[in-house]
Amino acid sequence: MAKEKKYRSSEWYSSKSHRRDTFIHRGWMRNQGHPNHLFDGRPVIGICNTWSELTPCNGHFREIAEHVRRGVYEAGGFPLEFPVFSASESNLRPTAMLFRNLASMDVEEAIRGNPIDGVVLLMGCDKTTPSLLMGAASCDLPTIGVSGGPMLNGQHRGKTIGSGTGVWKLDADLAAGVISEDDFVEAEISMSRSKGHCMTMGTASTMASMVESLGMALPHNAAIPAVDSRRYSNAFLSGKRIVEMVKENLVMSKIITKKSFENAIKVNGAIGGSTNAVIHLAAIAGRMEIDLSLDDWEICGKEIPTLVNLQPSGDYLMEDFYYAGGLPAVIKKLLDKNLLNKESLTVNGKTLEQNNFEAVCWNEEVIRNFDNPITKDGGIKVLRGNIAPDGAILKPSAASKHLMQHTGKAVVFESVEEFHKKIHDPNLDVDENSILVLKNCGPKGYPGMAEVGNMLLPQKLLKKGVRDMIRISDARMSGTAFGTVILHTAPESAVKGPLAAVQNGDEIKIDVDNGIMELLVDEKIILERLKNYKPVLPEITSGYQKMYIDHVNQANKGADLDFLVGRRGTEVKRHSH
């Protein structure tokens, strides 16, 4: 039955020197009905599935897996599907991000410990994409990404309505008394009316675009709607391709390089992508031992216009984006301006340029030209200063132009609980020129670094028609959110980063163009305040949370666990039965 030892899985299924082990590995698999020839030394392909009914964005992944499986069989591979921790953005408390690293450990160990030669990653909801990439990166096998695709456009009362973005707007309208509670509830089913993940350019769509621009997926993977038949043929073709990748030994580290990260950062600017990509790409780079810092975002993001007119930065949704040409059309526009590394390799064995040079933009209102961008300088901005020595970030395409140079008085909240208690207090000393500051929501302060940075504005200002103010925190923000929101301030206040020193009434100067965020308080006073500062520390409710808090890195390093950084390969010691 067994041919010569060729792939990693042969150690399990074709070893002649450890016949008893082979019997056990192979024999127990037989209870699923696999015939002899599947154990003949052909590539074993793991289909790493984040399907879960508790992760609604990935609820259709069994169907996607089925199409991957068909492709693997057609190419002569042996597909084996396995489940991993599925981090649901909409259900998991306290925040899905807390579990990104845990899920990545699950993925890494599942791949490392099993007879897998190549792996297909099924990813959709926000954290499922980075967690799978991180885990797979630590192993470095031939790997291909398949996204589940976005939901169809939301349709509500004659208008399109976008996941997340619509919620923030409805919430503000509800708080301002513009709509009723019933109107608010009715919008739910209008927003999520098909399978798939958020259909705004939120974190899920952004990360799917990052996967494609890193070269880790077939062209068009990012934008095809979840219910479009082309999503399933893409899955089929990915299954077929991974078998060839195993034969070519095209491992992940041959595809993801520093240059492909540079491409991804530029694409992020062009699509108006989520700020969460900054953290996730840093974590993936860390696993691959590639040096990627906020400086790279600063350098690569410079003068990249936001071309993609999608919510939250613009008007349209992912379905429109796909019909307009999808990510290949964006990549083509960037390639034409010589902005990308053309030679970067992708999973199909072709370069980024070869994959995209024939791409067509079918709708220049949805994917704009360079002379008509949504935002001229759309790359993520990095701000530094005495509040953020290790940096903070802002997404210009979602921000208000009139707040890009601004000095205002701080209104400080020590915790998210205090924020909720005080924000709508009519006596709160705040006006539209104030700067809202939220502390203790960084990786350690609020384990998982909650998406609370886009703080709701005070009701009394909303009623006046104010819809944006500068907000500063060490938190993250949902990719579907918008506003002049400065995030990921590092080091965070829970480790006595200087954000902790800000007090009510202090003046803060923001100069986005020059990357400056300064607390206009004497340095000695800042040091004195920090010395006496008592962070609001979280209650630890589980063993994993304890491990997370003890080991999580700061935001600028990707908030990975310190001991997970680096590549470890797939060697496992034989354990005789």
* Binding footprint of ligand FES on the chain (CB under 6 A): 57, 89-90, 125-126, 163, 197-198, 202, 204
CA distance 337 to 32: 53
Q: Please state the closest distance from residue 125 (CB atom) to ligand FES, in A.
A: 3
State which residue, 149 or 445, has the beta carbon closest to ligand FES: 149
Nearest residue to 503 (alpha-carbon basis) of 484, 531, 527, 529: 529
Q: Least separation, in Å, of the C-beta of 559 and ligand FES?
A: 19
CB-based contact 5:15 (threshold 8 Å): yes
* Least CB distance to ligand FES at residue 66 (A): 21
Ramachandran assignment for 67, one of left (phi > 0), alpha (psi -120 to 50 degrees), beta (any other): alpha
- Amino acid letter at 23? F
DSSP string, 460-522: HHHHTT----EEEESS---TT--SSEEB--SS-GGGT-GGGG--TT-EEEEETTTTEEEE-S-
CB of 283: closest distance to ligand FES in angstroms? 18
Token readout for 202 is 């939120």
* Beta bridge partner(s), residue 517: 510
Q: How far is the CB of 124 from ligand FES (least distance, A)?
A: 7
Nearer to ligand FES, 125 or 237 (CB): 125
Q: Say if CB 440 and CB 493 are below 8 A apart.
A: yes
Cis peptide before 535 (omega within 30 of 0): no
Least Å distance, CB 280 to ligand FES, is 13
Residue 92 or 218: the one with the smaller Cβ distance to ligand FES is: 92
Which lies closer to ligand FES via its Cβ, residue 204 or residue 304?
Answer: 204
Q: Are 465 and 459 in contact (CB under 8 A)?
A: no
Among residues 270, 261, 262, 258, the alpha carbon closest in space to that of 334 is found at: 270
Joined together, the tokens standing for residue 157 give 């009362």
Q: Which residue's CB is nearer to ligand FES, number 134 or number 410?
A: 134
Name the residue nearer to ligand FES (CB basis): 127 or 240.
Answer: 127
Shortest distance (Å) from residue 562 CB to ligand FES: 28
**Residue 420 beta carbon to ligand FES: minimum distance, rounded to whole angstroms:** 22
| Minimum gap (Å) between residue 61 Cβ and ligand FES | 12
Distance CA 432, CA 461 (A): 7
| Among 15, 51, 26, 216, CA closest to 123 | 51
CB closer to ligand FES out of 88 and 143: 88
Specify the residue, 199 or 304, whose C-beta has the smaller distance to ligand FES: 199
Q: Please, which residue, 197 or 476, has the CB nearer to ligand FES?
A: 197
CA–CA separation, 197 and 55 (whole Å): 9
Give the span between the Cα atoms of 354 and 526, in whole angstroms.
54
Q: Are 235 and 64 in contact (CB under 8 A)?
A: yes
Residue closer to ligand FES, measured from CB, 54 or 525: 54
As measured in angstroms, the least distance from the Cβ of 87 to ligand FES is 9
Closest by Cα among 533, 448, 454 to 486:
454
**Smallest separation, CB 409 to ligand FES (Å):** 35
Roughly how many angstroms between the first and final C-alpha of the chain, as a whole number?
A: 22
**Closer to ligand FES at the Cβ: 72 or 198?**
198
* Least distance between ligand FES and beta carbon 126 (Å): 5
Nearest CB to ligand FES, comparing residues 163 and 493:
163
183 class by beta-carbon count within 10 Å (0-12 exposed, 13-18 middle, 19+ buried): middle
Whole-angstrom Cα distance, residue 133 to residue 448? Answer: 18
Least gap, CB of 549 to ligand FES (angstroms) = 25
Nearest CB to ligand FES, comparing residues 197 and 280:
197
Pairing of strands 159-161, 154-156: antiparallel
SS3 annotation, 390-429: EEEEECHHHCCHHHCEEEEEEEEECCHHHHHHHCCCCCCC
